[in-house]
Chain A
């Protein structure tokens, strides 16, 4: 079971080469196959997650959640997707049409790009990039541009306010987000995600870097626009924020992208702090799924428990608490590494 996917890839390339394709083209074809698989993984995950979030929020709120279509309402997401596809696609007459239409597309492309570097198992990732973690952080913070485009292009005050809030939030939280990962990078000595996973062979980084984990978790919640940091949407205040003017599938694309982001960020957390795909008995790709879903469940739990934070508190929380804490964490990690070397323990 461990080598199902890697074997599949080898068979695939060898079959292509035996058909007379040059190895370079065969590798390119393999890349296409990997992306197709990633997209399938994303779609399956979204279908599961939307259903799961509804069921879990139902559980939190003493409701039943969806229960009409199929056992436990599992087909509800599919029914909703069909509904959204058949809805009227409205582009406001005052909107900046080009920006309005490209924003959701850009948003989902950015979300999918995040999967490029995540190790989904032993030797299983699209590209084994040597600056993987840097790539992930920089691509992740791009999504605010898509939200800004949506807000600006809609030509609506609510949308614009949501977009500005999103930009302010993303700038503030990208700083502690990146800083919190620095400790991990210092210990593992690499920006490559596979190396970071390998460095956690004996002990998970959540135990070595508990503060960094908490900071990353909070900053990631903000980066994902999830409650209590769901500023860009904030439906009770901004009626829908940056997404106010969107309808049908364009609107749905934002939500699909948010779930795509959620899985990617949770998978990165599992990779960086929870030992990645490493684990006993089960195959590596199953371990990463289990760990990712564990993190996602905590995200759900927080969202359905906390009220929304106020915008100015959100900013001061980042700059006055999270950034200093993450700097202290870097200092402590550095001192710790120096101490360990001085003692000759590593």
Chain B
């Protein structure tokens, strides 16, 4: 036999398909992946340390930067954590508006995942279709918060402003179009033979490995474990809605892809119900000018973000600033299984696996 050497290929941090600042060191034996090492930290901004020098109110916009593709979800998680810590009550109407915005964010995030997977696998048209549909959500965001990507619309105690008049019809129209969008993604990509060949059986994550690595979100549900915090530990008013948790047994890239597409439809259902039940009333409760939780008080609050379980652990020292804030970032933890699911595959599978794990680097590096 020919004597061959292993070689390393550095995928990223400057690479078209590593979703911004991810560095994957692939140790290759020909086209076969021997091992993969994930290097993080290229977009580290010490968000947790910044939190210690900002007041509780000031830090809220920072959290949007954790997961900039699902901007309302991390903000909602943080605001709810602070509300839990200080006992602030949120008006009913604000809760509903938050749910609508959160689920729209989840759809936007999954559409980006679809777009990114499309472009990573060379289906450039898929990218444009998903981005086109996401653009409508961005319009809705800019209508409420005045900003498309990082609208700090959700505030501690409620939301920043009441929804404008044409908000409801526009959201309704969007939700009504979701089945058509999904049909389009499926007929363009999911049903394609090449697509299926590149996704099926690629990057299989077994259920026990997923649990051992504490993977959460769509990645976990694609491995056959029915765990979604919206059902498992209902926060906010999620217990009032009727929706399903899509689960797949295969644990491969195709399963992760399909779970995300189905979740878009389920989020649509939630939004529809929320719009129907939306009560009138205040959108913001009375909150003190300076938020001073008791000294020594601590709280952990977690929500189901589009990437998985997003948790905030806050410790107060009685001042207006948190003593310590920790973010349990789902992307960071989900990325850790990348070596596990890449080993033994071919080079192109790294790209597929990164795309279907759908990490967001802002959150992984904090």
Spell out A's residues near B (CB within 8 Å).
Answer: 57, 60-63, 157-158, 161, 227-228, 230, 234-237, 239, 304-313
CB atoms of B351 and A237 under 8 A apart:
yes
B interface bracket (residues with beta carbon within 8 Å of A): 20 to 34
From A63, A311, A313, give the contact of B128 (CB < 8 A). A63
B42: Cβ under 8 A from any A Cβ: no
The listed residue (A62, A158, A230, A310) touching B348 by CB distance below 8 A is A310
- Taking CB as reference atom, which chain B residue is nearest A164? B31
With CB as the reference atom, state the residue of chain B lying closest to A157.
B9
- Give B1-51 interface residues, CB cut-off 8 Å to A: 7, 9, 15-17, 31
B194 at the interface (CB under 8 A from A): yes
Asked if A61 contacts B192 (CB within 8 A), the reply is no
Chain A residue numbers with a CB within 8 Å of B347 are 161, 237, 311
Whether B241 sits at the interface, judged by CB under 8 Å, is: no
* CB < 8 Å neighbour of A306 from B15, B192, B351: B192
The answer to whether B125 has its CB under 8 Å from any CB of chain A is: yes
Evaluate contact between B128 and A307: CB separation under 8 angstroms.
no
Chain B residues near A311 (CB-CB < 8 A): 31, 346-348
Known: A237-B347, A307-B198, A308-B194. A62 touches B17 (CB 8 A): no
Other A-B contacts than A236-B351, A307-B189, A308-B123, 7 sampled, CB-CB below 8 A, are A62-B128, A239-B15, A307-B195, A308-B198, A310-B197, A310-B198, A310-B349
Of B17, B31, B126, B128, the contact of A236 (CB 8 Å cutoff): B17
Report the stretch among B97-105, B113-121, B225-233, B275-283 that lies at the interface: B113-121
Residues in chain A near residue B118, CB distance under 8 A: 307
CB < 8 Å: which of A236, A304, A310, A312 contacts B125? A304
Cβ of B124 < 8 Å from any Cβ of A?
Answer: yes
B129 touches A62 (CB 8 A): yes
Roughly how many angstroms separate A313 CA and B351 CA in the complex, as a whole number?
A: 16
Residue of A nearest to B132 (CB): A62
How far, in angstroms, from A239 to B13 measured CA to CA in the complex? 12
**Which residues on B sit within 8 Å (CB–CB) of A308?**
121-123, 194, 198
Please indicate the chain A residues that have their CB under 8 angstroms from the CB of B9 in the complex.
157-158, 161
Q: Does B188 contact A (CB under 8 A)?
A: yes
Q: How far is the CB of B5 from chain A (nearest CB, A)?
A: 13
A contact residues around B17 at 8 Å (CB): 236-237
**Once the chains are docked, how many angstroms separate the CA of A312 from the CA of B195?**
14
A236 and B122 contacting across the interface, CB-CB below 8 Å: yes
Number of A-B pairs whose CB atoms are under 8 Å? Answer: 77
From known contacts A62-B129, A234-B122, infer whether A307 and B346 are also in contact, taking CB-CB under 8 Å: no
Report the nearest A residue to B189, measured CB to CB. Answer: A307
- Can you list 24 A-B pairs with a CB-CB distance of less than 8 A? A57-B125, A60-B125, A61-B129, A228-B194, A230-B122, A236-B17, A236-B119, A236-B122, A236-B351, A237-B347, A239-B15, A239-B16, A305-B123, A305-B125, A306-B192, A307-B122, A307-B192, A307-B194, A308-B121, A310-B198, A311-B346, A311-B348, A312-B31, A313-B198
**Binary flags per residue of B325-366, CB closer than 8 Å to A gives 1, else 0:** 000000000000000000000111101000000000000000
Distance, CA A161 to CA B17, complexed state (A): 17
Q: Which residues of A contact B188 (CB under 8 A)?
A: 305
The distance from the CB of B111 to the nearest CB of chain A, in whole angstroms, is 15
Which has the most chain A C-beta neighbours within 10 Å: B7, B123, B195? B123
10 tightest Cβ-Cβ pairs between the two chains A and B? A308-B122, A61-B128, A307-B123, A307-B121, A236-B17, A307-B122, A309-B194, A236-B120, A307-B195, A61-B125
| Residues on the B chain within 8 Å of A60, using CB | 125
In the complex, which residues of chain A have a beta carbon less than 8 angstroms from the beta carbon of B125? 57, 60-61, 304-305
Complex alpha-carbon distance, A304 and B197, angstroms:
18
Nearest CB on A from B197, distance (A): 5
Whether the Cβ atoms of A236 and B121 lie closer than 8 Å is: yes
Q: What are the residues of chain A within 8 A of B121 when measuring CB–CB?
A: 236, 307-308
Contact B119 A309 (CB under 8 A): no
Bound complex: CA of A228 vs CA of B125, how far in Å?
Answer: 13
Q: Which residues from chain A contact B351 at a C-beta distance below 8 Å?
A: 236-237
Query: Does the CB pair B197–A236 fall under 8 Å?
Result: no
Mask for B170-184, Cβ within 8 A of A = 1, else 0?
A: 000000000000000
Chain B contacts of A158 at CB under 8 A? 9
Q: Nearest Cβ in chain B — how far from A159, in angstroms?
A: 12
Task: List the B side residues contacting A304 at CB < 8 Å.
Answer: 124-125
CB neighbours (8 Å) of B124 from chain A are: 57, 61, 304
A236 to B192, CA, bound (A): 19
Roughly how many angstroms separate A255 CA and B124 CA in the complex, as a whole number?
19
- A16 vs B259: C-alpha distance when bound (angstroms): 74
- Nearest opposing residue in chain A for B197, CB measure: A313
Report B7 CB to chain A, min CB distance, Å: 7
Among B118, B119, B122, B349, which residue has the most Cβ atoms of chain A within 10 A? Answer: B122
**Which chain A residue has the least Cβ–Cβ distance from B8?**
A157
Note all chain A residues with C-beta closer than 8 A to B123: 305-308
CA distance A305 to B122 in the complex (A): 9
Residue in B120, B122, B127 whose CB lies within 8 Å of A228 = B122
Given contacts A236-B119, A239-B16, A311-B346, contact A306 B194 (CB under 8 A): yes
Question: CA–CA, A306 to B125, complex, Å?
Answer: 8
In the bound complex, what is the Cα–Cα distance between A234 and B15 (angstroms)? 12
Please name the residue on chain A nearest to B9 by beta carbon.
A157
B329 to chain A, nearest CB (A): 25
Contact partners of A312 in chain B: CB under 8 A: 31, 346
A309 to B348, CA, bound (A): 10
Instruction: Report Cα–Cα, A312/B9, bound state, in Å.
Output: 19
Closest CB in chain B relative to A314 CB, distance in Å: 10
| Complex interface bits, B226-269 against A, C-beta within 8 A gives 1, otherwise 0 | 00000000000000000000000000000000000000000000
- Cβ distance A311 to chain B, nearest Cβ, rounded Å: 6
Q: Within the complex, what minimum Cβ distance (angstroms) separates B356 from chain A?
A: 13
**Complexed CA–CA distance, A111 and B192 (Å):** 32
CA distance A308 to B17 in the complex (A): 14
Q: Tell me the bound Cα distance from A63 to B127 in angstroms.
A: 12
The reply to whether B16 and A236 form a contact with Cβ atoms under 8 Å apart is yes
**Bound complex: CA A234 to CA B189 (Å):** 18
